[in-house]
Amino acid sequence: MQNQQPLFNKSNSIRLRLAAALTLSIGVLVVESIGGLFFRSSALIADALHVFTDIFAIGFSLVALTISSRPPTSTLTYGYHRLEVFASLANGISLFVITGLILYNAYVKIVSPSNLDVLGTITVAAIALAINATSHAILKKNPNQSNSEIPYIVGEDLNIKSASTHILGDALSSVAVIAGALGVFLTHDNLFDPIVAAFIGLIVLRSATVTTWAGLSIMLEKSPVKNMIALESDLEKVNGVSDVHDLHIWRICSHITIATLHACLNDQGKNHRAETMNDLEGKLANSYGVKHATIQLEEVCCVPRHGH
């Protein structure tokens, strides 16, 4: 019960930041959609499509986070936390679709270029950039969201990471739109605008890859620990332990880490089983952020049986 209140407060803080980012992204979508059509800028239209994915992604994450905060049940013993991962995967897949739309629109504009209103395009892109910078600052303002203080392990809430990746990519896109408009102004070549649109498409593609892989890593139960050998050696330094094997560590979601292992006891450990168990659990919790550990203590060290 002692850990539930901090988790609840953290979850509530994340929801508030996502809601603020969602509201700001809707404002960017409106501004860039109108500006893109009015000033004949394919780059602004591409950026508006990118923002649409931001809205979809952040909204999906917000809904998933709200549902995942529900308590566990007798059958869903870890609760609904995996919905966070499904939201991340859906976000990534949506970005691949939007990439195709952006690149197609850029191709059409390259084949049939139109005159660009440079001043209007730069003004709209600058407004979008300012809003995106504000949104990104809101998402990143809590320094306690990551596990950077825990050795060997890296990670942060996937909802925040996914939304932050979207917003940062859109801010870079706004910069690219401004650069493209300046290119048109200096060279009088309207091809700069669709070329920038294609560049934005590549930014979206990168975001799609990063976001999708983050979700897949958890679905595939990839270890969040960078160096599993170092983790095993660290656990073997615990008093009473002579060997650690069959070690597995994975995540239910971005903030719940699980571990299972076999620990072979030496003479000291055999005489102080409870203390050795507590020390192993404390090491996993305090140094590696493991919230739930299943440890099998062995007086006679078994042969590792689990090839997986």
Chain segment 153-211, per-residue pLDDT in tens:
444 566 677 777 778 878 888 888 999 999 999 998 888 888 888 888 888 888 788 87
Q: Are 73 and 208 within one domain?
A: yes
With 70 as the cut, is the pLDDT of residue 122 above it?
A: yes
Which 3-state string (H, E, C) describes the chain? Answer: CCCHHHHHHHHHHHHHHHHHHHHHHHHHHHHHHHHHHHCCCHHHHHHHHHHHHHHHHHHHHHHHHHHHCCCCCCCCCCCCCCHHHHHHHHHHHHHHHHHHHHHHHHHHHHHCCCCCCHHHHHHHHHHHHHHHHHHHHHHHCCHHHECCCCCCECCECHHHHHHHHHHHHHHHHHHHHHHHHHHHHHHCCCCHHHHHHHHHHHHHHHHHHHHHHHHHHHHCCCCCECCHHHHHHHHHCCCCEEEEEEEEEEEEECCEEEEEEEEEECHHHHHCHHHHHHHHHHHHHHHHCEEEEEEEEECCCCCCCCCC
Q: Round the average pLDDT of the chain to a whole number and report it.
A: 82
Largest CA distance in the chain: 83
Chain segment 91-105, per-residue pLDDT in tens:
788 888 888 888 888
pLDDT number for residue 156: 54
Q: Report which of residues 131 and 66 the model is more confident about.
A: 131
What CA–CA distance (Å, rounded) separates 89 from 84? 9
Q: Are 41 and 118 within one domain?
A: yes
Domain count, the chain: 2
What CA–CA distance (Å, rounded) separates 248 from 262? 10
Q: Is the separation of the CB atoms in 248 and 261 below 8 Å?
A: yes
Backbone phi, psi, residue 295, to 5°? -120, 125
Q: Report which of residues 266 and 151 the model is more confident about.
A: 266
With 80 as the cut, is the pLDDT of residue 217 above it?
A: yes
Domain end call among 219, 246, 263: 219
**pLDDT category of residue 145 using cuts at 50, 70 and 90:** very low
With 60 as the cut, is the pLDDT of residue 307 above it?
A: no
Q: Are 232 and 197 within one domain?
A: no
| Identity of the highest mean pLDDT range in 4-8, 137-141, 270-274 | 270-274
**pLDDT category of residue 9 using cuts at 50, 70 and 90:** low
Domain end call among 155, 188, 219: 219
Q: Are 278 and 201 within one domain?
A: no
Q: Are 50 and 92 within one domain?
A: yes
| Identity of the highest mean pLDDT range in 81-85, 144-148, 282-286 | 282-286
Which CATH number do you get for residue 122? 1.20.1510.10
Closest C-alpha among 167, 173, 165 to residue 213 = 165
Q: Are 18 and 45 within one domain?
A: yes
With 90 as the cut, is the pLDDT of residue 280 above it?
A: yes
With 70 as the cut, is the pLDDT of residue 6 above it?
A: no
Q: Are 106 and 233 within one domain?
A: no
Does residue 305 lie within any of the structural domains? Answer: no
pLDDT number for residue 283: 92
**pLDDT category of residue 7 using cuts at 50, 70 and 90:** very low
Does residue 244 lie within any of the structural domains? Answer: yes
Range of the domain at 239: 228-298
Q: What are the Cα distances from residue 168, in Å, to 31, 134, 165, 210?
A: 18, 11, 5, 13
Domain end call among 195, 219, 243: 219
**pLDDT category of residue 142 using cuts at 50, 70 and 90:** low
pLDDT number for residue 157: 63
Which CATH number do you get for residue 267? 3.30.70.1350
pLDDT number for residue 82: 82
The mean-pLDDT minimum among 149-153, 206-210, 257-261, 274-278 falls in 149-153
Which 3-state string (H, E, C) describes 26-75? Answer: HHHHHHHHHHHHHCCCHHHHHHHHHHHHHHHHHHHHHHHHHHHCCCCCCC
Q: Are 80 and 97 within one domain?
A: yes
% of the chain beyond a pLDDT of 90: 26
Q: Are 123 and 141 within one domain?
A: yes
% of the chain beyond a pLDDT of 70: 87
CB atoms within 10 A of CB 86: 15
CB atoms within 10 A of CB 46: 33
Give the mean pLDDT of 69-91: 80
Q: Are 176 and 48 within one domain?
A: yes
CB atoms within 10 A of CB 278: 12
- 283: tokens are 């090491």
Q: Are 153 and 101 within one domain?
A: yes
